[in-house]
Amino acid sequence: MRAYRVLIPALAVLAAAATPVLSQAQPAADGRVVPTSAIGLKQSFAPIVRRAAPAVVNISAKRIVRQQMDPFWQALIGVPRARVEGSLGSGVIVRSDGVIVTNNHVIANGQEITVALSDRREFPAKVLLADERTDLAILKIDVPAGEKLPTMPIGDRSDRQVGDLVLAIGDPFGVGQTVTNGIISALNRTPDANGDAGAYIQTDAAINPGNSGGALVGMDGDLIGVNSFIYSQSGQSSGVGFAIPAAVVRRVVETAMGGGHSVVRPWLGARLQSVTPEIAKASGLPTPSGAMIADVWPGGAAARAGLKQGDIVTSVDGAPVVDAAALNYAFGTHRPGDTLRIGVRRGGGEQAVTVRAEAAPATPPRDEHVIAGRNPFQGATVVNLSPAVAEEVGIDPFGKAGVMVTKTADGAAHRLGMQPGDIIRAVNGRNIKTVTDLTSAVVVPARVWQFTIERNGRELTATVPA
């Protein structure tokens, strides 16, 4: 071990001595400069950390969970025992009056949320907005009158590039702040190129458990992303981490500050398919890049802009569209009412169309209802499935009409294992298309209930006694 310790400095000296003298690097047009010597590589991130780290906080969330127990023992003992579960994560102060952004999964179902500042002071926090789809939550703490907390500006640059240096700052194990550095490994990463699962920044900066909700910081000290998750077989960081981009963070913060309790996302009104090599060849495209319009919602934004089935969207406001997820992301980061210039390839030619961003239509009306009575759906909250509801929960808005379960309370639906997202298709041979259909079907007495639900694209049929 002693020889190893000696060897490293010796090799470092030899490497420094062997470093060739390079000419002064010329900055690129965007101001970026590649280090030209070992001395350049030794420069410190400390000035950025001093500026950014005070705005990074620790977040703990506690929730009370009642333990499930055998009915026999419950009858003897009484009320099921409760235990307290907790989670630890990180957050970023984005407004000096105590507004904090973090991941939704850090505080989900939390009944007691505490924020610990970098100076170790602790404050209870309330949730202003929790958005499961983006996995972001906005918290608020009450700070002493006249005090302004340190903040981290939400970056507004759109020229981030693969290879840019970044820092990940968080509180991964509840032992204090940690800072790791790396680069942007990729942009617009998505688990589903045809879907709307998000377009993440990928980084090799180490992100560990508890770092969720922490800051991905650019070299200007701005927040360029909120660290969200990692890909790992061991559960520890292996250099493949993902952050929610600043453009999405800004939209969610603006919504919360405007008093909104949910994020209204603009909807193109079109079903999209990423361009494959086969589609590119048939369309005369040099590379398989773009999003093809597979279907158009009547009267939606795409239809009114003149987009047609078979059109291939190649750009939004001058920025190239690589796949369907990239188009969904570019459209979704705008506000309803904004106008976008979209490049379209049609019939071998290129043209541009203007599309107005707007919310998905709530047709049919939501008609939220809690089912009561002696039936399998007792205790379930249901809504009519519409493009607005589908967009809200992240499912295909072009699916068949139906009634969706949004939550279950104590009752038959919960005991039977129904889940939020289940779509009720039929009850005792009657097709269910609206909440009115369902409420009418369950008031009819029955000895046996047979019903069909759709879950994750599969239809499940069950028969239960009344």
Dihedral angle at the C-alpha atoms of 231, 237, 238, 241, nearest 10 degrees?
A: 50
Active site (annotated) includes residue 105: yes
Cis peptide before 27 (omega within 30 of 0): no
Q: Which among 131, 135, 222, 422 is annotated as catalytic?
A: 135
Closest CA to 271 of 362, 396, 130: 396
Q: Which among 60, 212, 274, 315 is annotated as catalytic?
A: 212
User: In terms of C-beta density within 10 A (0-12 exposed, 13-18 middle, 19 or more buried), how is residue 104 classed?
Assistant: buried
Calpha distance 390→397 (Å, rounded) = 5
**Amino acid letter for position 425:** R
Active site (annotated) includes residue 289: no
Calpha distance 215→102 (Å, rounded) = 9
Calpha distance 251→260 (Å, rounded) = 11
User: In terms of C-beta density within 10 A (0-12 exposed, 13-18 middle, 19 or more buried), how is residue 238 classed?
Assistant: middle
Q: Would you name the residues annotated as active-site residues?
A: 105, 135, 212
